[in-house]
Amino acid sequence: EDQVTQSPEALRLQEGESSSLNCSYTVSGLRGLFWYRQDPGKGPEFLFTLYSAGEEKEKERLKATLTKKESFLHITAPKPEDSATYLCAVRASGGGADGLTFGKGTHLIIQP
């Protein structure tokens, strides 16, 4: 069974204080690891897709990396508007366009 575990569950940072969120996964053949941002009362918003170990993607203050067992979302010099829940999800091999298996997310709060 595919499993995704995210840590920490919650993280409070000061504005400008860089940190990393962790996503560890167990999957039978990875066909993509996805990072989403979810604001309260909203649906998840797509951030990145990573497909193979060693791959990195960047967008503004966010950088996602991937190894064979885990992914990290690095947040550099965060601002209060980066406060959200960050969800990690995997798609496993199995053919077709199967749905995603999500982790519970990391609730990130950036204090001014």
Give the interface with other proteins as residue ranges (CB under 8 A): 4, 31-32, 34, 36, 41-46, 49, 87, 89, 91, 96-105
Mark 55-93 as b/e (b = at least 16 C-beta within 10 Å): eeeeeeebbbbbeeebbbbebeebeeebbbbbbbbbbbe
Task: Work out how close the CB of 69 gets to other proteins at its nearest, in angstroms, rounded to a whole number.
Answer: 19
Looking at beta carbons only, is 59 or 79 nearer to other proteins? 59
Nearer residue to other proteins within complex by CB, 16 or 94? 94
Instruction: Decide whether 42 or 79 has the Cβ nearer to other proteins.
Output: 42
Closest separation in Å from C-beta 99 to other proteins: 4
CA 62 to the chain's CA centroid: 10
- E strand or H helix at 70, and its extent? strand 70-75
- Closest distance between other proteins and the C-beta of residue 7, in Å? 14
> Could you tell me the smallest distance in angstroms from the CB atom of residue 16 to other proteins?
28
Pick 17 or 24: Cβ nearer other proteins: 24
How far apart are the C-alpha atoms of 110 and 12, rounded to whole Å? 6
Residues in the chain: 112
Q: What 3-state DSSP class applies to 77?
A: coil
